[in-house]
Amino acid sequence: KAGVTQTPRYLIKTRGQQVTLSCSPISGHRSVSWYQQTPGQGLQFLFEYFSETQRNKGNFPGRFSGRQFSNSRSEMNVSTLELGDSALYLCASSSTSGGTNEQYFGPGTRLTVT
């Protein structure tokens, strides 16, 4: 089985811009979770989509949003970028919702905001 893929792998944006990141889960997985990883805060849960619906949500502002398509691919959008949004964004796919079953992580998208 092909693993979780994320595009792009690296991205540089300017403060105030918006960005869209993409995640393709393992075939057959319907859950996609997004995480932000920074040296200071570690791994923080953003949100989870399951069967095109946002099921669970972390404590991030509304500038962070996402969606999931019928083929389970998911996108994450960050609007009005701030310097503090610079991070590695990881997505993880799973066969079930809520983190009970193993989550398979992608390689991440490294976002740098200047």
Partner 1 sequence: AQRVTQPEKLLSVFKGAPVELKCNYSYSGSPELFWYVQYSRQRLQLLLRHISRESIKGFTADLNKGETSFHLKKPFAQEEDSAMYYCALRTSNFGNEKLTFGTGTRLTIIP
Could you say whether residue 67 binds partner 1 (CB under 8 A)?
A: no
Among 5, 11, 45, 67, binds partner 1 (CB under 8 A): 45
3-state percent helix, strand, coil for the chain, nearest multiple of 5 = 5, 55, 45
**Residue 99: which region, alpha, beta or left (left: phi > 0; alpha: psi -120 to 50)?**
left
Could you say whether residue 61 binds partner 1 (CB under 8 A)?
A: no
What is the β-pairing status of strands 10-13 and 109-113?
parallel
Size of the chain, expressed as the number of residues it contains: 114
Minimum CB separation from partner 1 for residue 19, in Å?
A: 22
Among 26, 48, 49, 78, binds partner 1 (CB under 8 A): 48
d(CA 42, CA 69): 28
Could you say whether residue 57 binds partner 1 (CB under 8 A)?
A: yes
Indicate the residue among 57 and 63 with the shorter CB distance to partner 1.
57
Give me the residues that bind partner 1 (CB under 8 A), please.
3-4, 33, 35, 41-45, 48, 55-58, 90, 92, 97-100, 102-107
